[in-house]
Amino acid sequence: MANIENRKFVALDISGKNYLSWVLDVKLHLSAKKLRHTIDEDNAASNEERATALIFLRHHIDDGLKYEYLTVENPLELWQNLNDRFEHLKAVVLPKALNDWSQLRFQDFKTVSEYNSTLFKIVS
């Protein structure tokens, strides 16, 4: 009953491992719904727009995160809280990706598709 409406994309994991792709997906979907301004500083969003954006954000985060941020009633505040919590992942992910890139060798793979899969994983 918790997921009456299907999610538009993968929900933010409580560990934050998919945070970077989740941020991009949220920004794109809020832009498409003309609600992107609700997560910007000093916005003049109406209460209805804020409620719609908050429902959308809460629908696309892990249940553990929902309970942790249960009292947050502003989409901007939720957005900033999640940003503060997971933004450091860029500092962790980039060095790992650069290391993986420097260690990538075509001869280590049995097929071209395995190589391409690993390559695209590093790029993403």
Tens of pLDDT, residue by residue over 58-104, are: 999 999 899 999 999 999 999 999 999 888 877 777 787 788 888 88
| Residue 117 tokens, joined | 């899969």
Give the start-to-end residue ranges of the domains of the chain: 18-123
71 vs 78: CA distance, rounded Å: 10
Residue 1: pLDDT band with limits 50, 70, 90? very low
Rounded Cα distance, 59 and 86, in Å:
18
Cα–Cα dist 95/58, whole Å: 30
pTM here?
0.70
